[in-house]
Structure 1
Amino acid sequence: MKCQAMRFGQEQQPLLLVDDFVPEPDSLIDYALTQQDVQQAGGLYPGLRSAAPPGFAQWMQQRLAAVLQPVFGLPATGLSQLNCFYSLVTTAADQLSLPQRLPHFDRPQQQELAAVLYLCGAEHGGTSFYRHRSSGFEYVDQPRLGQYQQQLSAELQQSPEPKGYINGDTALYQRVLQIPARKNRLLLYRCSSLHSGDIPADYAYDENPWTGRFTITAFWHNQRT
């Protein structure tokens, strides 16, 4: 396991990049293929989801316990699991809702974390983090939520964002960091950070976990929030 901590953007948000995170990543794909609970995702995720192996989020948290405090200022004992699931991008660009075409935050909480473990390679696109140009926000927490929503709503009425997946600068957003996908690479970041998956314009929507954009996503709640 190779860990790299960084801060990005003008607001210096923390991020942890870990390569070679799981001893046998192919075993996670094998397990996914045995599951029967695959469903169209709710919320903003543009594809299919199913439950990750039982206890996997706790295992991830334990494996990362030593770095949570120095990188994010959070003790591992202060976090509890929210969700952990397999995710596979299957929604074509012309079928996206407006919110799916924008950078998003998972929850407006700086003390909560999100993780993405890639079970695919760089050809499927990585993850980018963004700045909302007019507000300068690179994260949205509760104190910023109202202002951000009001500004964005007014801007979208005047200048709708382009169709399709965001994958770089637009009139409303500027990309501040791009992390390429790599099999068995984990990204850990604050749930409040504005981000989006990098889905190429010519992406082929492959529903095979061995050859598609397949990841495991986990969220951790801070027990004090």
Structure 2
Amino acid sequence: MDDFLADPQALADAACRARFEPCAGFDEKRGYPGLRAPVPPAYSECLTALLDPLIRINFGVPDALALKKTPCAFSLTTVAPGDLGPLQRVPHFDASTPHYMAALLYLCDEQQGGTAFYRHRATGLQQITADGRERYGDAVYAELDRQPAPARYFADSDARFELLGVMRARFNRLVVYRGSLLHSAIVNPRRLSADPRAGRLTVNSFYDF
């Protein structure tokens, strides 16, 4: 959804006033490779009220299932490619439950890449469900044991993952997708910054049903 907020700059300005801290797992080089800060509650409340019915309609979520969400967070990608951990160098999935959804709002421009989606060649999987999670994990860990991934943010296809498509970054663009899809942030290493005015600033929200 492009031009999502009527006043996106107000949210970007709130990010400039926010206190960013390393994401959980930062020191262990796992999870999100950067900094996060709380988002004003009004954004979270309005976003949830809007997306709850839209997600149910567009992704086939039964009305009987209750919505559960995590707090919305400003996110800034800051880790240099050479400092990434092994699993931060390959595509990932957020959860293997059937109705876990990610909602990503870009508060940065096209030069900050986007979000790409992939298929794992060895298993043929592009969506990691509960019945395929163990098979996928075993295959990926075996591949990384044989040959560690290069120290870079993943982008194009390689011998292990096939690029299926990219949602490009655009200021005030909201992207909603299933968290079980294999995906990766497309990161421009020359634009890494802890300054919300210059870095890869996004707002990340997650919903489960």
| TM > 0.5 | yes
Counterpart for residue 151 of structure 1: 139
Name the structure 2 match of 1:162: 150
1:45 maps onto 2:32 in alignment: yes
Q: CA deviation at 1:106?
A: 0.8
Q: Does 2:121 match 1:124?
A: no
Deviations 1:98-118 (A, max 9, x none): 111010111111211111100
Residue number in structure 1 paired with 2:28: none
Query: What is the Cα-based RMSD across aligned positions, in Å?
Result: 1.6
TM-score, with normalisation over the residues of structure 2?
A: 0.91
Superposition deviation, residue 179 in structure 1: 1.1
- Please show how residues 92-107 of structure 1 align to structure 2 within 5 Å: 92-107=80-95
Q: Counterpart amino acid of 1:59?
A: C
Q: Percent of pairs identical after alignment?
A: 35
State the one-letter code of the partner of 2:78.
Answer: T
Amino acid of the structure 2 residue aligned with 1:21: F
Question: By how many angstroms is 1:97 displaced?
Answer: 0.3
Q: Does the alignment pair 1:214 with 2:201? A: yes
Could you tell me how far apart the structure 2 residues matched to 1:113 and 1:144 are?
18
TM-score (norm 1): 0.85
- 1:75, CA displacement in angstroms? 5.4
The match for 1:32 is 15
Distance 1:70 1:133 in 2: 31
1:24 CA drift (Å): 0.4
1:136 is aligned to 2:124: yes
Q: How far apart are 1:207 and its partner, in Å?
A: 1.8
Q: Distance in 1 between matches of 2:17 and 2:39?
A: 11
1:104 alignment partner, SS class:
coil
Amino acid at match of 1:177: G
Residue correspondences, number: 203
Distance 1:154 1:90 in 2: 28
4+ aligned runs moved over 4 Å, structure 1: none
1:87 is paired with a residue whose SS is strand
- Measure how far apart 1:70 and its partner are: 2.8
SS at match of 1:142: coil
What are the within-5 Å matches in structure 2 for residues 74-85 of structure 1?
A: 74=61, 78-85=66-73
Amino acid in the other structure paired with 2:127: Y
- Supply the AA of the counterpart residue of 1:29: A
Q: Is the 8 A contact 2:112 2:191 kept in 1?
A: no
Q: Is the 8 A contact 1:94 1:164 kept in 2?
A: yes
Structure 1, residues 155-202: CA drift from partner, whole Å, max 9, x if none?
A: 2222322221001111110110111100000110111111010013x4
CA contact (8 A) 2:83 2:151 kept: no
State whether residues 161 and 170 of structure 1, in contact with CA within 8 Å, keep that contact through their aligned partners in structure 2. Answer: no
Matched residue type, 1:57: S
Contact 1:161 1:172 in 2 (8 A): no
Higher strand proportion (structure 1 or 2) = 1
Distance in 2, matches of 1:73 and 1:216, equals 24
Flag structure 1 segments of 5+ consecutive residues without an equivalent: 1-17
Q: 2:96 aligns with which of 90, 105, 108?
A: 108
**What SS does the aligned partner of 2:191 have?**
coil
The alpha-carbon distance between structure 1 residues 82 and 165, as it changes in their structure 2 partners (threshold 3 A), is same
Please state how far the C-alpha of 1:78 moved relative to its aligned partner: 2.9
| Aligned equivalents of 2:10, 2:62: Cα separation in 1 | 29
